[in-house]
């Protein structure tokens, strides 16, 4: 018996690829940035938890796949600080007054 673990032939993404595909498709349809309100509506329309969308987007921003455009008065420092026990804290959503783009 061979106990060696094989490396996958491709790198496994650190984000939810199904949510990424939905975001990419909706972004291309809209041809404009997402606001937090847009993302909440998208989550509601597709039966996806809003915080799952935000975790995916934050990871994509960290990986430089997407961009977050903060509003002028917004201070956006530590993405990890926005989450409470792995879930997006409701109070944290109020910080996202900028927009998201690919």
78/46: higher pLDDT: 46
pLDDT of residue 39: 93
pTM score of the predicted model: 0.74
Q: What is the mean pLDDT of residues 47-55?
A: 91
- Rounded CA gap, 77 and 101, in Å? 18
> What distances in angstroms separate CA 76 from CA 15, 40, 50, 73, 97, one per listed residue?
20, 19, 19, 10, 10
For residue 55, pLDDT beyond 90: no
97/67: higher pLDDT: 67
For residue 19, pLDDT beyond 60: yes
**How open is the CA angle 13-17-23, to the nearest 5 degrees?**
130
């Amino acid at each position: 018996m061979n106990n060696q673990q094989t490396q996958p032939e491709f790198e496994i993404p650190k984000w939810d690829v199904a949510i990424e595909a939905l975001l990419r498709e909706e972004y291309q349809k809209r041809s404009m940035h997402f606001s937090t309100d847009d993302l909440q509506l998208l989550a509601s329309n597709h039966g996806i938890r809003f915080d799952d969308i935000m975790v995916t987007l934050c990871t994509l921003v960290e990986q430089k796949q997407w961009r977050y455009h903060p509003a002028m008065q917004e201070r956006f420092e530590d993405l990890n600080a926005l989450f409470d026990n792995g879930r997006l804290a409701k109070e944290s959503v109020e910080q996202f007054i900028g927009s998201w783009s690919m």
